[in-house]
A and B are shown apart, each in its own frame.
Chain A
Amino acid sequence: MSEPVNLDKALVRRALAGDERAFRSMFDQYFPRLYRFALVRLDGDQETAKDVVQQAFCKAIERLDTYRGEAPLYAWLCRICRNTLIDHCRRRGRESQMVMPIEDNMQIRAVMEALSAAAGDEPENRARQRDVRRLVQTTLDYLPTHYGNVLEWKYVEGLSVKEIAARMDTGPKAVESLLTRARNAFREAAGAVGSAAGIPAANMER
């Protein structure tokens, strides 16, 4: 069993045992990611995304003792959220309005071809760039929490290794090695997403 899954199992076990800190840690780690997951699929409808994620999270709590670590906890939560989304849209007769992002359907040929085109300022290119941005952010969400966080802190917020170490209450060496592992994981995940969409990661920057 992988390290991240062992961590997930440990967190779930503690939450089920009544450890409030473990429950809050689980909520804080996964609520923002599930919210983004739902928001994309609801085409930016914040209010509905909040309601759907609330339902999904409550369902997940109810079934938490069935989590056995076969998959990372985030993937398990996304499955519940996806089903909740589908039920929600079905009940409101809005099945057709649920957005199917490319990470859900890698066979959308038009999107794959569009992503390989050169960047420009035309509206369709801005839409493609938005897709790339969302793909990158989705990739970050699928990584273990600390990987996604440390990559954002370093490359988006521009924190130094020392500042990240202070934030994580650890040493600079540990941060360097965590960054290396996080980059490796991001590279693999982005490569998988890109190759499924027919695009190597390097081309996504164009």
Chain B
Amino acid sequence: MNENSDKDRAVCIPDDRDVIAKLLQTAGSREEPPSEAYEQVLAATTLAWRDKVRRNRRRRVFAVAAAVASVAVIAGVILRQPAPVGPPVQVATSDHVIGDIAVLANGESDWRSLGGPGFSLVAGARLRTGDESGIGVLMGPGVSFRVDESSEVWFETPARIHLVAGTVYLDSKPGTGERAPVEIITAAGSARHIGTQYELRYKDGGLRLRVREGRVMLRHDGADLPADEGVQLSIEPDGPVEESTVTRHDADWAWVQALAPAPYVSDQSLTGLLEWVERESGRDVHFARPELRDKAARTILHGNRGRLLPMEALAVMLQTTDFQYTVASDSEILIEERRY
């Protein structure tokens, strides 16, 4: 752009910022709707929104009720629930709830709606999810247990969970304290983690284990089958064990991401968020230049953004920084300085 004196201004190419400033100043403020219109439309729209949310939830409750019948038929196994001895032991707390979740407390005969986060689950409690619902529970520091749609589990102890039917995921973050490994038991076998992130599915008598990180020991037919990171073991009823591979960023992990505990980022460095995104998305985070890693560690985020998927949280939080990201490949996120 050329710098010119006032005399020459009529013929010079003005600075781009000046053009934008002049345009905006000439245009003036955008007209705001009258407050009466705002209030009236807000009231009507709020009613519509509440009705929509209520109908969506009711659909899920009906789906849960339908799932109750089908789960009992498909599983074909009635797992007896032993009566606990002594005072109730807390095993987990609900953290992230999608849709309506039915809970049967130990000793009760009627299922009821769990509600939202913060519900305390004691030993003997059962959970059921219907279509398009799911729940993530926290079982202690760094241990996240997630239940996919159309599934049923019950908690025997803090270290033993029974998967009646459906799909569950366990994430036990390393370095968060000593804790007995959680064992997940199904009618076809059980899984006990030595490592950290895995999914177990028990459906129509078949068992499937997928290990996202670490190592899991699957016990089936009296034998211990170790499965390392990236391994999928599938066992059909009366069938052989089939082994295949699964990547950390496979699209099938999407349901797991939707139930992830929300990261607490307010007044934390960007590095913490990136580590969370890496862990939950399964994508490796790389920096375009080594020095950006230090810069990220010095960048402090402000304000939490609630329940967002990892990539959404990344988009939202990076907005307030000098960084941007690109998805370099299916398995990689590249962090760069923002381009102007």
Q: Return the contact of B24 from the options A17, A146, A152 (Cβ within 8 A).
A: A152
CB of A73 closer than 8 Å to a CB of B: no
CA distance A134 to B23 in the complex (A): 11
Residue contact A54 to B19, C-beta cutoff 8 Å: no
Residue contact B340 to A184, C-beta cutoff 8 Å: yes
Answer whether A14 and B42 are a contact pair too, CB < 8 Å, given A184-B340, A205-B23: no
Residue contact B318 to A3, C-beta cutoff 8 Å: yes
CA distance A6 to B333 in the complex (A): 15
CA distance A178 to B312 in the complex (A): 19
Answer whether A152 and B44 are a contact pair too, CB < 8 Å, given A7-B316, A23-B49: no
Q: Return the contact of B20 from the options A18, A53, A157, A186 (Cβ within 8 A).
A: A186
CA distance A88 to B64 in the complex (A): 41
Q: Return the contact of A173 from the options B32, B52, B322 (Cβ within 8 A).
A: B322
| Nearest CB of A to B107, in Å | 30
CA distance A187 to B283 in the complex (A): 34
CA distance A9 to B303 in the complex (A): 19
Residue contact A54 to B44, C-beta cutoff 8 Å: yes
A-side contacts of B289, CB under 8 Å: none
CB of B177 closer than 8 Å to a CB of A: no
Residue contact A156 to B29, C-beta cutoff 8 Å: yes
B-side contacts of A22, CB under 8 Å: 306
| Nearest CB of A to B299, in Å | 10
Residue contact A177 to B44, C-beta cutoff 8 Å: no
A to B CB contacts below 8 Å, 16 in the list: A10-B313, A13-B308, A31-B38, A35-B41, A46-B37, A53-B41, A57-B44, A58-B48, A61-B52, A137-B27, A137-B28, A155-B20, A169-B302, A180-B340, A187-B16, A201-B19
List residues of chain A with CB under 8 Å of any chain B CB: 1, 3, 6-7, 9-10, 13-19, 22-23, 27, 31-32, 35-36, 39, 46, 49-50, 53-54, 57-58, 61-62, 64-65, 129, 132-134, 136-137, 140-141, 146, 148, 151-152, 155-157, 169-170, 173-174, 177-178, 180-181, 183-184, 186-187, 190, 201-202, 204-205
List residues of chain B with CB under 8 Å of any chain A CB: 13-14, 16-17, 19-34, 37-38, 40-42, 44-46, 48-49, 52-53, 56-57, 98, 302-303, 305-309, 311-313, 315-316, 318-322, 324, 338, 340
